[in-house]
Amino acid sequence: MNIEPVLGYVFLGGIAYLVGSFPTAFIVAAVFKHVDLRSTGSGNFTVYNTFFRVGKIPGLLLLLWNLVAALIVLRCAHLFFPSDAIAQLTAITGVTVGSMWQVFARFRGSRGTTTLAFALFVAEPALWAACFAAWILALLPRRRTTDATPALHALLPVIFGLIAGSWTYAVAGGLLGTLLQIKRRYSKDDTLSLGLFRRFGINVNR
Alpha carbons 94 and 40: distance in angstroms, whole number = 26
Alpha carbons 124 and 172: distance in angstroms, whole number = 13
Burial 1-19 (b: 16+ CB within 10 A, else e): eeeeeeebbeebbebbbbb
Residue 41: predicted pLDDT: 83
Domain region containing 103: 4-200
Contact 190, 46 (CB under 8 A): yes
CA–CA distances in Å: residue 162 to residues 118, 156, 190 = 20, 10, 31
Alpha carbons 181 and 185: distance in angstroms, whole number = 6
Alpha carbons 124 and 176: distance in angstroms, whole number = 15
Residue 200: predicted pLDDT: 46
Give me the number of domains the chain comprises: 1
Contacts (Cβ under 8 Å, ≥6 apart) of 132 = 117
Q: Looking at the domain assignment, is residue 154 inside a domain?
A: yes
Per-residue pLDDT of the chain (206 residues; tens, 9 = 90+): 567 778 999 999 999 999 999 999 999 999 999 988 888 888 899 998 999 889 999 999 999 999 999 999 999 999 999 989 999 999 999 999 999 999 999 899 999 999 999 999 999 999 999 999 999 999 898 888 888 899 999 999 999 999 999 999 999 999 999 999 999 988 887 766 655 555 444 554 43
Q: Looking at the domain assignment, is residue 94 inside a domain?
A: yes
Contact 142, 127 (CB under 8 A): no
User: Between 85-100 and 167-185, two packed helices, what is the crossing angle to 10 degrees?
Assistant: 0
Q: Looking at the domain assignment, is residue 205 inside a domain?
A: no
Q: Looking at the domain assignment, is residue 143 inside a domain?
A: yes
pTM, to two decimals: 0.90
Alpha carbons 45 and 112: distance in angstroms, whole number = 10
Contact 38, 25 (CB under 8 A): no
Residue 206: predicted pLDDT: 39
3-state secondary structure of 41: coil
